[in-house]
Structure 1
Amino acid sequence: MEIYLIRHTKVAVEQGVCYGQKDVDLAESYPIELEAVKEKLKGIEFDAIYSSPLSRANKLATDIYGDCVIADERLMELNFGDWEGKVWDEIKDPLFPAWMEDFVNRKCSNGESFVMLNDRVTKFWNEIKSKDCNKIAIFTHGGVMRTIQAIHKNIKLEDSFNEPTPEFGEVVIIPV
Structure 2
Amino acid sequence: MRLILVRHPAPQVSSGICYGSSDVAVAHHEREKVRTSLRHRLPPHIPVYTSPLLRCLDLAQQLAEDLSASALHLDTRLAEMDFGTWEMRPWHTIPRTEIDAWAADLAHYRPGGGENVLGMATRLQAFQHDLLREQHGVAILICHAGTIRLLTALQARLSLEETALLAASSAHKIDYGTTTVINF
- Scaled by the length of structure 1, what TM-score is found? 0.89
2:23/2:54 contact within 8 Å kept:
yes
Establish whether residue 147 from structure 1 lines up as the match of residue 155 from structure 2: no
Instruction: Tell me how far apart the structure 2 counterparts of residues 40 and 169 of structure 1 sit (CA, whole Å).
Output: 13
1:123-162 superposed Cα distances (whole Å, 9 cap, x missing partner): 0011111222111111110000100000013363323333
Give SS of 1:6's match.
Answer: strand
One-letter code aligned to 1:122: Q
Instruction: Tell me how far apart the structure 1 counterparts of residues 22 and 145 of structure 2 sit (CA, whole Å).
Output: 14
Question: 2:21: which partner in 1?
Answer: 21
2:56/2:142 contact within 8 Å kept:
yes
Instruction: Tell me how far apart the structure 2 counterparts of residues 112 and 85 of structure 1 sit (CA, whole Å).
Output: 15
Identify the match of residue 119 of structure 2 among 116, 119, 124.
116
* Alignment CA distance shift 1:29-1:133 (3 Å): closer
Identify the match of residue 162 of structure 1 among 165, 170, 177.
170
* Alignment CA distance shift 1:89-1:100 (3 Å): farther
Question: 1:70: which partner in 2?
Answer: 73
Instruction: Tell me how far apart the structure 2 counterparts of residues 58 and 173 of structure 1 sit (CA, whole Å).
Output: 20
CA RMSD of aligned residues (A): 2.0
Q: How does 1:1-176 map to 2 (within 5 A)?
A: 1-27=1-27, 28-41=29-42, 43-46=43-46, 48-66=47-65, 68-92=71-95, 95-154=98-157, 156=162, 157-160=164-167, 161-162=169-170, 164-176=172-184
Give SS of 2:182's match.
Answer: strand
Instruction: Tell me how far apart the structure 2 counterparts of residues 36 and 23 of structure 1 sit (CA, whole Å).
Output: 24
- 1:175 deviates by 1.7
* Alignment CA distance shift 1:163-1:88 (3 Å): closer
Instruction: Tell me how far apart the structure 2 counterparts of residues 120 and 53 of structure 1 sit (CA, whole Å).
Output: 15
- 1:91 deviates by 1.6
Instruction: Tell me how far apart the structure 2 counterparts of residues 77 and 39 of structure 1 sit (CA, whole Å).
Output: 27
Aligned length: 174
1:106/1:113 contact within 8 Å kept:
yes
1:12/1:24 contact within 8 Å kept:
yes
- Scaled by the length of structure 2, what TM-score is found? 0.85
One-letter code aligned to 1:69: L
- 1:95 deviates by 4.1
- 1:97 deviates by 3.3
- Percent identity among equivalent residues? 25
One-letter code aligned to 1:60: L
One-letter code aligned to 1:104: A
Runs of 5+ unmatched residues, structure 2: none
